[in-house]
Structure formats: structure tokens, C-alpha cells
Amino acid sequence: MAVLVIADRDGNTVRDTTHKTVTAALKLSGDVDILVIGQGSKAAADAAAKIAGVRKVLLAESAGLGHQLAEAVEATVVGLAGGYDAILSPATTDGKNFMPRIAAKLDVAPISDIVEVVSPDTFTRPIYAGNALETIQTSDAKKVITVRPTAFDAAGEGGSASVETVTGADAGKSAFVSEEMVKSDRPELGAAKIVVSGGRALGSAEEFHAVMDPLADKLGAAVGASRAAVDAGYAPNDYQVGQTGKVVAPALYIAIGISGAIQHLAGMKDSKIIVAINKDADAPIFQVADYGWVADYKTAVPELMKALG
């Protein structure tokens, strides 16, 4: 049984979501290859070849693959699928976009967002916004799976796999127009060791940034937000932590002025340590917090800044 992992490429390297997906893949088989997709991805393929436990790296380049367009990725992967019993990708927005398309072309029932490999044909995944976990067994000979990265440890470095070039397909009926990526000196929300998140209690976009940004900078943290804060316009869309936003699992998650709606908890409850600061002692966030501080953020955050030195 051989497994193909589709890498989450980031310029000249691959994101650690790739390493985490390799960990899941190694639970299926010892024969794990990585496919790196995109124009000018040789350096990223070389980086993927260093991931421990990888047999070989396939590099597919074409103009259409530069932006991971679903149609081009599907045509490329379907062309390679004959050699594999399972195809895995991290459950990023890219993976969620192209994996079901690949599955349909292969006549396979896709398995989305797994958090556990029970056996090579049985997996556990969250349903109902994380309020239930289902364990499912597939009867498909070939498997197409997306992996929730926060549920797996990252595979280490130290591999020395070979890199082979394979044919990359073009996009056909869809075309890339533009992209607008948020630039920030802070760590990426999904990968940060510490996340500080603000909620609707902050009351305005100015207050949100005035309170959250200095604290994040002091801690070297990424900034997140609840959906309520995003919907109110206090924080941009890509800050959103929750079932409808990003799922994070940092070592330390500090929730400030967040009540803890179910959909927010689904996005952060796997964090190692959760701190909640909220003036409402009955806020549901305290039920999941390791350290709860019933206080107004207006006094608590400045005190915390001072205590951090």
C-alpha cells in the first residue's frame, strides 16, 4: 500500500501542515510519497524531501498549477492516482477545494478532516461543528482523505528522499485572476505557538487593535478573533477562530472578552493551555479554560502586560 501526500507549498518551502499530514499517512503505510505542485517549486520539493519517513517526492509544475486551481490539481493527481492506495492532503482551503473533486473523478467517497487514523480503512472525524465525532470505515479500495493538521504531530526532518519530475496539467475552464494575502510580521494563526483572541466585548476595531496588537507583540503571538468580533467588523475575516474560521491548537490560547459560543470552542478547544479573561463569570469559555480570570479586559490586559515585563 502506497500513500501520496499533497504538500501545502509556501514559496520555497512547505508548511508544517505537510509534516502533520505525513504523520497521518505513515499510520496508513510505510511507503509515503509527497507531491509538490506549482510553478517554480523545485526548492519546495527539496524541502519536502527532507521530511523524515518520506520515500520520494514528486514535483509537478505548470502555469495552471501555480495557484493550486482545483481543475489543474485534479487532472494532475488523477493522472498519478494509479500508483497509490490513498491520497492525503491537509484540510487547508486548498485541500478542501481540490480533494473532493479528485475523489469524484476517481469514483471514491472522500473522507474529510480526519482527526484520527484508527486503522488503514477506519478514521475518526468531527461532525456537527465538533459536537460529535464519527468513526467511519470505508469500502473504497482507493482512499481520498483530508487531514486536520492540528490533530497530528509534525513529522520530523532528516529525510533524504529523491525528487522526480512528473507532468503537471493545465487549468482549462478556470483561470486565476488575483490574490490579496494579508501581510503580517506576526506568526501565522494556524501555526503559532501562542494565540491571543479578542471577542465582541472589545467594542470597536480601534479598541480591538489597541488591546490585542501590543499583547500579541509582547508574546510573539498570532491574533485571532471570535466570529462575533469579525461579524461586528472589529477584526478581519482571516482572524476568525472557530468552526467557520480557522481551527487552531497552540500551546497557549488566551481568549479576551470572548463568551465561548459552541462554534468558537470547536476552533480552539484542542489548545494545550487555555486562558480566559472575561468579566462575566458565567461565560461558557470558563468551562474549557485551564486558567480563568473574571475581570474586565480594560484593567486585566494592562496588568498582564506589566506582569509579562
Compare residues 194 and 201 and give the one whose CB is closer to other proteins. Answer: 194
| Nearest approach, Cβ of residue 45 and other proteins (Å) | 21
Q: Which of 28, 274, 278, 297 binds other proteins (CB under 8 A)?
A: 274
C-alpha distances in Å from residue 88, one per residue of 120, 148, 228, 250, 307: 12, 11, 33, 23, 44
**CA separation for the pair 268, 278 (Å, rounded):** 17
| Nearest approach, Cβ of residue 33 and other proteins (Å) | 23
Cα angle for residues 292, 293, 294 (degrees, 5° grid): 115
Q: Which of 275, 278, 283, 297 binds other proteins (CB under 8 A)?
A: 275
Residues 159-178 that bind other proteins (CB under 8 A): 172-178
Residues 7-66 that bind other proteins (CB under 8 A): none
Compare residues 61 and 113 and give the one whose CB is closer to other proteins. Answer: 113
Q: Inter-axis angle of helices 93-105 and 70-80, to 10 degrees?
A: 50
Compare residues 32 and 234 and give the one whose CB is closer to other proteins. Answer: 234
Task: Output the furthest CA–CA distance in the chain (Å, rounded).
Answer: 61
Q: Which of 82, 153, 160, 181 binds other proteins (CB under 8 A)?
A: 181
What is the SS3 assignment for 263?
Answer: helix
Cα angle for residues 145, 147, 153 (degrees, 5° grid): 140
| Nearest approach, Cβ of residue 159 and other proteins (Å) | 25
69 binds other proteins (CB under 8 A): yes
| Nearest approach, Cβ of residue 138 and other proteins (Å) | 5
**Strand 54-61 relative to strand 31-37, pairing:** parallel
- Total of residues contacting other proteins (CB under 8 A): 86
Residues 83-122 that bind other proteins (CB under 8 A): 92-94, 96-105, 107-113, 122
Taking residue 204's Cβ as centre, other Cβ atoms within 10 Å add up to 11
157, 51 contact by CB (below 8 A): yes
185 binds other proteins (CB under 8 A): no
C-alpha grid cell, residue 106: 476517481
Contacting range for other proteins; rule: CB under 8 A; set: 52-60, 150-158, 161-169, 284-292? 284-292
157 binds other proteins (CB under 8 A): no
262 binds other proteins (CB under 8 A): yes
82 binds other proteins (CB under 8 A): no
Compare residues 122 and 165 and give the one whose CB is closer to other proteins. Answer: 122
C-alpha distances in Å from residue 241, one per residue of 92, 196, 237, 271: 14, 11, 10, 12
Q: Which of 38, 66, 126, 257 binds other proteins (CB under 8 A)?
A: 126
Contacting range for other proteins; rule: CB under 8 A; set: 26-34, 52-60, 157-165, 239-247? 239-247
C-alpha grid cell, residue 8: 501545502
Residues 129-148 that bind other proteins (CB under 8 A): 129-140
Tallying the residues shown for the chain, one arrives at 309
C-alpha distances in Å from residue 110, one per residue of 55, 87, 95: 24, 10, 12
232 binds other proteins (CB under 8 A): no
205 binds other proteins (CB under 8 A): no
Taking residue 165's Cβ as centre, other Cβ atoms within 10 Å add up to 11
C-alpha grid cell, residue 44: 519546495
Compare residues 54 and 91 and give the one whose CB is closer to other proteins. Answer: 91
